[in-house]
């Protein structure tokens, strides 16, 4: 039986076995997902077919990126259907057409900037666009910066440094923008989302989050956001309840209005999460959750062998909106 998560108007049914893959294919660590204007779902994963495209019913349409990407991490789609693919393994962002033609590359493959130098990139994590098409890149694991580029990839400015004060970062893991140009940054290991204006001026922060990892803006004026939170990452609190992994839905002021899962810790049962790493919302309000369960398995279950389904199909979930 499919689990129902949430309450009130924010209720979702877990769709079992949504993704229909060709025989012999798998989804290994879905790092990010994106949905285009026709509700086609682009799934950026670390398996042999890095980008797999589905229709909203889960039928496979095509794939691309074989031999191109080193380690999938972030994915953003623009109004024209172009994809901004962030590869933290080779320190690049590639803008691709919907069929995989590379239109723009920012960064030099396999040439990282010095660790914590502030120069782009050292294991960049995600991208977002301003209303003018400027490109924001969160950077990431080997930096503590946000970079802003022109639409054709020229660096405009950067902000951020290591630390826990306002405007500082401890793993800047994800980034989103809204229609008014505000910039939202998942500051993962500081357990917060920071909000900036389009030029990097700190405005506020959203707290009461646990290792915010995925970040998706619902769109429109005064949008809601869906935030994917990781569970505990240390042995000492691994089995502490009510820390996730989970999804939180917050309004445009950061006030939590719903929470999906996470009370009992990680798992592969319906209604549980492993490591929500990427989130997208389609035109019906359904939520797609990409999980890096293979990477995270030993953190969550160090004494248990990983079930085969984690490395084949369990790294992508669809939550179908039920409503009130």
Three-state SS annotation for 61-98: EEEECCCCCCCEEEEEECCCCCEEEEECCCCEEEEECC
Integer Cα distance of 158 and 175 in angstroms? 14
Supply the range of the domain harboring residue 309.
Answer: 4-321
Q: What is the pLDDT of residue 247?
A: 98
Structurally, how many domains does the chain consist of? 1
What averages of pLDDT result for each successive group of 10 residues across the chain (324 residues)?
Answer: 88 94 92 98 97 97 97 97 98 98 98 98 98 97 98 98 98 97 98 98 98 94 94 93 96 96 92 97 97 93 92 90 78
Q: Are 215 and 186 in contact (CB under 8 A)?
A: yes
DSSP string over 109-175 = TT-PPPTT-SSS-SSEEEEEE-TT--EEEEE-SS--EEEEE-TTS-EEEEE--BSSSTT-BSSEEEE
Q: Are 53 and 41 in contact (CB under 8 A)?
A: yes
Q: In whole angstroms, give the CA distance from residue 47 to residue 285.
A: 27
Q: Are the C-beta atoms of 61 and 81 separated by less than 8 Å? A: no
- Take residue 308 and report the two structure tokens written for it: 């085969």
pLDDT of 256: 96
Q: What is the pLDDT of residue 13?
A: 96
Q: Which two tokens stand for residue 16?
A: 């079992």
pTM of the model: 0.97
Sign of CA dihedral 309, 313, 316, 317: negative
| Alpha-carbon separation of residue 171 from 45, 174, 220 (angstroms) | 20, 9, 28
CA separation, residue 134 to residues 104, 118, 152, 159 (Å) = 13, 19, 8, 15
Q: Locate tokens 């996730």: which residue?
A: 244
What CATH number should be reported for the domain holding residue 84?
2.120.10.30
For residues 260 and 226, is the Cβ–Cβ distance under 8 A?
no
């Amino acid at each position: 039986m499919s689990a129902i998560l949430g309450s009130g108007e924010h209720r979702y049914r877990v769709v079992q076995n949504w993704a229909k893959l060709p025989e012999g294919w798998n989804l290994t660590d879905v790092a990010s997902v994106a949905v285009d204007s026709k509700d086609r779902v682009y799934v950026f994963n670390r398996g042999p077919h890095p980008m797999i495209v589905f229709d909203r019913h889960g039928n496979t349409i095509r794939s691309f990126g074989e031999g191109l990407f080193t380690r999938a991490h972030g994915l953003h789609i623009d109004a024209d259907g172009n994809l901004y693919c962030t590869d933290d393994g080779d320190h690049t962002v590639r803008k691709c057409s919907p069929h995989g033609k590379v239109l723009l590359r920012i960064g030099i493959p396999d040439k990282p900037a010095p660790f914590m130098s502030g120069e782009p990139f050292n294991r960049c994590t995600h991208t977002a666009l301003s209303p003018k098409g400027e490109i924001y890149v969160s950077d990431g694991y080997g930096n503590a910066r946000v970079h802003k580029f022109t639409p054709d990839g020229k660096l405009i400015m950067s902000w951020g440094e290591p630390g826990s004060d306002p405007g500082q970062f401890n793993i800047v893991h994800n980034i989103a923008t809204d229609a008014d140009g505000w910039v939202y940054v998942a500051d993962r290991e500081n357990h917060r989302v920071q909000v900036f204006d389009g030029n990097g001026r700190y405005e506020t922060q959203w707290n009461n989050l646990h290792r915010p990892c995925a970040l998706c803006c619902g769109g429109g004026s005064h949008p809601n956001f869906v935030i994917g939170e990781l569970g505990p990452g240390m042995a000492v609190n691994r089995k502490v309840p009510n820390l996730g992994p989970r999804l939180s839905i917050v309004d445009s002021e950061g006030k939590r209005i719903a929470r999906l899962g996470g009370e009992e810790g990680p798992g592969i049962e319906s209604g549980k999460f492993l490591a929500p790493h990427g989130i997208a919302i389609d035109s019906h309000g359904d939520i797609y959750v990409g999980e890096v369960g293979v990477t995270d398995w030993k953190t969550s279950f160090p004494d248990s062998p990983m079930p085969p389904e984690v490395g084949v199909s369990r790294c992508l979930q669809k939550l179908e909106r039920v409503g009130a």
